[in-house]
Amino acid sequence: DPNSPIQDVRVRRALNYAIDKDAVSRSLLDAPRPSGQPASRGAFGHDPTIPPYPYDPAKARALLAEAGYPDGFPLVLSTLKNAAPGDDMIAQIVAEYWRQVGVPTVLKVITFPEFNRQYANNSWTTDVISISWNNYQYHDVTRPMEDFSCNRPKPFFCDPKLTAQFDAAKQIIDDKERLVAYQALGRAYRDAAPSAFIVEHRDVVAFNPGLTNFQMRQRVPDYDLLQWAPRPKQ
């Protein structure tokens, strides 16, 4: 919605400052770490020097007032349930944090098919959605940054400067140079605050130490291992 308060970067930053991410991690998830960028540790492009937004409700209120919303504004948050660990509980506590800085938030639970349809068509009927900056399948930041760019057929977040920076970075061949470019882009994404970055989810894999030749396979195909078989002659 072009008239939504969310269009103002000060509002988006305020909603980040309003969330105690450490408390969310400790109380709901125990192990995951607070997030402040569109990449998790271990993903190519992650910058360990980028901090999460600190919990600062006073600064959140000041930014809201600066943006022209001293009394806040109503917000609708659409969230999935049981799509990721603790997703419904995270949505509930985030909504409460936003209420505490004057942004009364209503939760709207949606189904996964409904989410996929609106995600593909950008046909959202809500102000905020719960979503993952998913680094699969190559474990770098290319896929999530592509999703949060103007390159999508129907983008839900489009910053032309960020997209131009991203398009230039992903064409760099040298790994070291591309890493520097991606990390700079991560800082730019943090400042643009297209998300309320909350926590880094992790997959936990356990196996008997007596097993040998263990190899981890991800939840999506490992395309590097796929080979086309020759077509049989008719």
Ramachandran bin of 227, using left for φ above 0, alpha for ψ from -120 to 50, beta for the remaining angles: beta
| pLDDT tens per residue, range 25-78 | 877 766 668 888 888 887 889 899 999 999 999 999 999 999 999 999 999 999
With cut-offs at 50, 70 and 90, classify the pLDDT of residue 180: very high
pTM to 2 decimals?
0.84
pLDDT of residue 218: 56
Residue showing tokens 């505490």: 100
φ/ψ of residue 208, rounded to 5: -65, 130
103 Cβ contact list (under 8 Å, min separation 6): 15, 18, 64, 72, 73, 74, 75
**Taking the mean position of all CA atoms in its chain, how far away is CA 86?**
15
The first and second tokens of residue 234, run together, are 């008719």
pLDDT of residue 203: 66
Give how far Cα 80 sits from Cα of 31, 91, 110, Å: 21, 9, 6
pLDDT of residue 213: 82
Q: Does pLDDT of 232 surpass 80? A: no
User: What is the four-CA torsion angle of 184, 189, 190, 196, rounded to 10 degrees?
Assistant: -160
Whether the ω angle into residue 137 lies within 30 degrees of 0, i.e. cis, is yes
Let me know: does 19 contact 97? Beta carbons within 8 Å: yes
With cut-offs at 50, 70 and 90, classify the pLDDT of residue 209: confident
φ/ψ of residue 185, rounded to 5: -65, -35
Is the C-alpha dihedral spanning 97, 155, 148, 67 positive or negative?
negative
Q: Does pLDDT of 9 surpass 60? A: yes
